[in-house]
Structure 1
Amino acid sequence: MTTERVYADRSAGGLALAELVRERSWVDPVVLGLARGGVPVAAEVASALHAPLGVAVSRKIGSPGHPEFGIGAVTPHGPVVWDERSLDLLGLTHDDLEPVVERERREALRRLDLYQGDREPERLEGRDVIVVDDGLATGVTARAALRSLRESRPRTLVFAAPVCAPQAIPALREEADSVLCVSEPPFFQAVGQWYSDFSQVDDDEVVALLDRYAGGTDRYSGGGR
């Protein structure tokens, strides 16, 4: 683990993360990219492990008037995860945000249906499941994804990213069996500051990657943006 590292793009971040992940032994692993930005990173990890690539969807619930500030997150089917401290500071209740929760859950369902397509979802029970994102900032969307995936009874549930805010890791360890980070820079403001190219990943790229690498037999070479 290094303290500071800037990646050329998500593919480069994925290659660095793959080196770290390969240091461990895994039992029948499956790699899930957290959509959307985590999928190109996860493709490199899945390729390195010769493991199938799948997707996990988690949607941030933003603060009223400041949607970029996440105070919770929701998945297509799992429970809502709240940042209770932020809710208290803002004087908000769960009921106040129910319309936002329902809207984001519908969007999560739409994305999951789009990404999954006609493919059968990977079986997770009894397997090592590695959830990959391009970075860990507050961790609220990752926590929601992990909590939902835990219901599938994986052998182990791991979160992995090329760069992580150190202060977000302890809370994430409450949901994951372990957290793997290549870099934990002390002056972390946003995930994008640790990538030279942090272009938005669109739905078409996610679908293309899943179509190509879902079986775990091909090699993802990066690029494509």
Structure 2
Amino acid sequence: MVLNRTEAGKLLAQKLTQYAHRNDVLVLALPRGGVPVAFEISEALKAPLDLVLVRKLGLPGREEFAMGAIASGGIEILNEEIIDKLNISGSAIEKARDEQSIELARREKAYRGESNWPRYKADCIILIDDGLATGYSMRVAIEAIRNLDPKKIIVAVPVAAKDTLQDISVLVDETVCLATPEQFIAVSKWYIEFNQISDEEVNRLVQMAWKR
């Protein structure tokens, strides 16, 4: 276990030192939880920081479990296996998609305003979140950044479900992870402090990184 996302980011940065002080590296965080982790990595590597905006599509009545995810630009990935197994209706999927699209648009305005995305160009992109459970948010983030045509995509997280990390590893060039617990329950269980991250905190950290 680690104390919080800040400590997790510092520990994860130690596994990424080969990417320090390079002008071809961009750190992309999945808000909100991935931002404090990514900020520490960005600081340690002296690499620019930006955001990739995604939203999980939660199961009806069990929103903490993903049946898919969406990203800016109309990108969507669905967990067809779980949708078929639980007989999730098309209307339920559409309802979740509509709700999360509204939140995605709100976050785009809150975090980016009129700025172009990404703010920086890079051949090597390091995707950061505070952990991987089902991995669908990360999957859709990977699809979103493929449109940027990077030469290398790295996924780095403090903790992950072992099977999820294996699934993600075939989609990218490299994965870096501090822990894959045998009995994975939830990302939050790996942290002593797992506070909610506000929009204000996201913007504060990103602005600090941009001013560096």
TM-score (norm 1): 0.87
Tell me the CA shift for residue 126 of structure 1. 4.8
Tell me the CA shift for residue 214 of structure 1. 2.3
Code of the aligned partner of 1:193: K
Tell me the CA shift for residue 160 of structure 1. 0.6
Moved more, 181-190 or 12-21: 181-190
Moved more, 117-126 or 92-101: 117-126
Tell me the CA shift for residue 106 of structure 1. 2.1
Question: Deviation string for 1:101-146 (max 9, x for gaps)?
Answer: 1221221121022112354433565521111011111101110111
2:166 is aligned, of 167, 170, 174, to 170
Tell me the CA shift for residue 183 of structure 1. 1.4
Structure 1 segments, 4+ long, off by >4 Å, are: 24-27, 93-96, 123-126
Moved more, 181-190 or 202-211: 181-190
Aligned position for 1:138? 134
TM-score (norm 2): 0.92
1:18 is the counterpart of 2:8: no
1:149 is the counterpart of 2:145: yes
Tell me the CA shift for residue 99 of structure 1. 2.4
Alignment of 1:43-54 (within 5 A): 43-54=39-50
Contact residue 11 and residue 44 of structure 1 kept, 8 A: yes
Aligned position for 1:83? 79
Moved more, 85-94 or 51-60: 85-94
Aligned position for 1:185? 181
For structure 2, the 5+ residue unaligned runs are none
Contact residue 131 and residue 158 of structure 2 kept, 8 A: yes
Moved more, 33-42 or 175-184: 175-184
Aligned position for 1:207? 203
Code of the aligned partner of 2:56: K
Code of the aligned partner of 1:44: E
Q: The residue matched to 1:48 in structure 2 has which SS? A: helix
Distance 1:93 1:157, change over 3 A: farther
Question: Deviation string for 1:67-104 (max 9, x for gaps)?
Answer: 12111000121421111110111112555411221221
Q: The residue matched to 1:80 in structure 2 has which SS? A: strand
Tell me the CA shift for residue 198 of structure 1. 0.3
Code of the aligned partner of 2:87: G
Query: Aligned partners of 1:94 and 1:148: how far apart in 2?
Result: 24
1:38 is the counterpart of 2:39: no
Moved more, 89-98 or 108-117: 89-98
Contact residue 23 and residue 47 of structure 2 kept, 8 A: no
Query: Aligned partners of 2:54 and 2:165: how far apart in 1?
Result: 18
1:57 is the counterpart of 2:57: no
Contact residue 125 and residue 153 of structure 1 kept, 8 A: no
Aligned-pair identity (%): 34
For structure 1, the 5+ residue unaligned runs are 1-5, 218-225
